């Protein structure tokens, strides 16, 4: 049966934020985001006018690592960038956030890029050219095995070869490292990878690709039978803990037979690029520090809402001090 949670008291979330200190390793992608804005996203065959292109640091794994580090986690990034200006941009952004880059290799391939188009409502489309991200294979990951073994939590996504993600998950399972998988961009993955995953994080579209059913209701009127079917379907794949992100409608946290709705924080979105990664990075940081999944998602909801109020991904991410101030402002609004 689904439960709906309200925003916990500011002191409760602030305590969870203050306790972030754990070791996180993120294995995966880094992209230079070529970002432009337009009034409306183009339909197939349609041409629309856009703003000048801005180049911003991005890539799902790099984003997640940056957000986790900004919140206070000790973060290592295992990935690859080219020996070019874009690679320097990405390394500089991660370094400023405090991400350890000894396991970020310089590739002979060019740095991965993504073309990001954002409309007036903050919605976006993304097309990726992998470039150096293609180097993150099982062989490379095994060369940097200590980065996985020494972490408390491992973060994975699918912007790099599945073989690398699977190798990292195997290393994590053998060393007692918690595995969190963001099944994005969606692709068919080996059943073993799902079995090795401790927490799966997907959005509605990815869930519908993974299972023959998907979330169709708003977060305040979930059909309990539907949620039970989703939980049962994930369990058959070896997934007992999962988070279904629903954008402005919040998220659904599944823990065995229990499902809990965590509402989104209402905000005037400017650009939703990277908000899912801010959410995931926060969960990584919180769980590495001993915070339970549900509480980690409550904090992540706040952090993701802040990311939506700025442009780009990493450029919009908040650090621990700004997050604490935001929590205080939310508590003040509730009191009024």
Q: Which sequence positions are flagged as catalytic?
A: 277
Cα-only R_g, the chain: 19
Q: Is the Cβ–Cβ distance between 59 and 50 less than 8 Å?
A: no
Q: 286: closest CA among 158, 167, 278?
A: 278
Q: 272: closest CA among 294, 247, 301, 296?
A: 247
The tokens describing 194, both together, are 């799902």
Q: Is the Cβ–Cβ distance between 256 and 240 less than 8 Å?
A: yes
* H/E element, 275: helix 275-288
Cα–Cα–Cα angle for 242, 281, 159, rounded to 5 degrees = 80
* H/E element, 201: strand 199-203
DSSP character at residue 43: P
Give whole-number Cα distances, 316 to 246, 274, 306, in Å.
20, 9, 8
Q: 285: closest CA among 153, 196, 156?
A: 153
How do 23-27 and 153-156 pair as beta strands? Answer: parallel
Query: 195-223 burial, b for 16+ CB within 10 Å, e for fewer?
Result: ebbbbbbbbbebbeebbeebbeeebeebe
SS (H, E, C) 54-83: EEEEECHHHHHHHHHHHCCCEEEEEEEEEC
Q: In what order do the strands lie in the sheet with 124-129?
A: 54-58, 31-37, 112-118, 124-129
The tokens describing 213, both together, are 């059913």
């Amino acid at each position: 049966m689904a439960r709906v949670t309200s925003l916990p008291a500011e002191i409760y979330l602030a305590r969870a934020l203050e306790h972030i200190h754990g070791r996180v390793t993120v294995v995966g992608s880094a992209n230079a985001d070529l970002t432009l804005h337009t009034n409306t996203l183009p339909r197939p065959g349609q041409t629309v006018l856009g703003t000048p292109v801005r180049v911003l640091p991005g890539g799902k794994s790099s984003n997640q690592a940056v957000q986790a580090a900004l919140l206070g986690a000790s973060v290592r990034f295992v990935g690859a960038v080219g020996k070019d200006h874009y690679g320097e941009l990405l390394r500089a952004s991660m370094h400023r956030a405090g991400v350890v880059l000894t396991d970020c290799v310089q590739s002979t391939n060019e740095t991965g890029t993504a073309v990001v188009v954002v409309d007036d409502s903050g919605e976006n489309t993304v097309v990726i050219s992998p470039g150096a991200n293609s180097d993150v294979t099982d062989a490379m990951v095994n060369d940097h095995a200590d980065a996985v073994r020494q972490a408390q939590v491992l973060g994975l996504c699918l912007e790099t070869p599945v073989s690398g993600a699977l190798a990292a998950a195997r290393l994590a399972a053998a060393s007692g490292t918690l595995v969190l998988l963001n099944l994005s961009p969606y692709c068919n993955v080996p059943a073993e990878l799902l079995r090795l995953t401790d927490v799966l994080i997907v959005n509605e579209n990815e869930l519908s690709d993974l299972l023959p059913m998907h979330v169709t209701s708003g977060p305040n009127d979930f059909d309990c039978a539907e949620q039970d079917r989703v939980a049962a379907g994930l369990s058959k794949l070896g997934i007992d803990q999962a988070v279904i992100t629903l954008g402005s409608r919040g998220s659904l946290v599944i823990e065995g037979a229990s499902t809990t709705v965590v509402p989104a924080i209402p905000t005037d979105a400017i650009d939703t690029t990277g908000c899912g990664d801010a959410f995931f990075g926060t969960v990584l940081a919180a769980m590495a520090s001993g915070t339970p999944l549900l509480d980690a998602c409550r904090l992540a909801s706040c952090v993701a809402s802040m990311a939506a109020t700025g442009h780009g991904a990493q450029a919009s991410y908040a650090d621990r001090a700004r997050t604490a101030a935001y929590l205080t402002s939310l508590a003040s609004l509730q009191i009024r």
